[in-house]
Amino acid sequence: MNPTVFYLNPGATSDVLSIIREELPASWRLLPAEGNEFAEQLSVCDFLLVPDQPVLAQHLTAAPRLTMIQHQGVGYERIDLAACRAKQIPVCLTPEGTTTGVAEHTILLVLALYKRLVVAANGVRAGRWMQWELRPQSFELSGKTLGLVGLGRIGREVARRALAFDCRVVYFDPVVASSDDPRLTRCTSLVELVSSSDIVSLHLPVTSASRKLVNDDLLTHFKTGSVLVNTARGALVDELALLAALNRGHLAGAALDVLEEEPPAASNPLLHMENVLVTPHISAGTRDALKTKMRAAFGNMQRRLRGEPLFHLVPELSDLFEGTA
């Protein structure tokens, strides 16, 4: 059998596709997405590889040969799991390759925000030498308290890096009772964490309970002059509430790799604020991460063909497939 993989990513460039093909098993075929109509690719694909596009019931209906959906990352809220259950299609995730890039990007965003990096660099290009002008609004990471909302794989790696910068690290995670690292302090509530943190960084999935977790009410408990960092999912933050907190000066700034709408409308006011830094969902967007992810994704597809246990099956479908890993 020579399986066909449909890469459901209309934004993939030829360079990205070349990297993916480097990891593609011999004799397998990779079909790229072209335009916004995928009927032809779906009709012949055995596997669906998806980064963050929606996978709807009509996609499954159009894919009679489909045996598995492999998500390139870990956020699967845009996949219709009810339709997958009805058609007995497993959905697996690829946490491999994500952790390092997101952890590094989180620290990068904090440093860039604290040192007003984009403002300073753009100022030089515009002929403004702000050697002294930016000092009153610039800060060091050393000695600050970093509050992690979520202490999973990524949260732990962010903590490890922040400790190297001499940060105090606190965390809140209703699932993680304690940390193996005694240098981390557990908060008993989200309010306790945000009220004591200079930097609040989000590292959790979107669920019915976490959607718009950062809202008007929670923002009132943030420490005055603190900053928010989000490299997880845009839906965790109520952007109108965040905007209001920034405008009234309660928050000193925000660094966002994810937004509620991606790509955002040009009119989104967060894009035009000097104390807000927005990057285009690239925290895990490195060549290193992509190669690691593709090796893991194709390896899981091969396990499916061999009838072996699947890695990282979404828990909502675990009852349908025996022996998953």
**Residue 287 designated active-site:** no
Residue 192: exposed, middle, or buried by beta-carbon count in 10 A (0-12, 13-18, 19+)?
middle
Tokens 């940390």 sit at which residue?
179
Look at residue 299 and give its three-state secondary structure.
helix
φ and ψ at residue 110, rounded to 5 degrees = -65, -45
The H or E element containing residue 245 is helix 239-247
Structure tokens given for 277: 């830094």
Q: How far is Cα 199 from Cα 141, in angstroms, rounded to an integer? A: 9
**Residue 168 designated active-site:** no
Strand order in the sheet with 91-92: 29-32, 4-7, 47-50, 68-71, 91-92
**Active-site residue, from 116, 156, 281, 312:** 281
**Active-site residue, from 262, 274, 287, 308:** 262
**Active-site residue, from 233, 239, 304, 312:** 233
Residue 237: strand pairing partners: 214
Residue 20: exposed, middle, or buried by beta-carbon count in 10 A (0-12, 13-18, 19+)?
buried
Residue 123: strand pairing partners: none
**Residue 153 designated active-site:** no
Residues annotated as part of the active site: 233, 262, 281
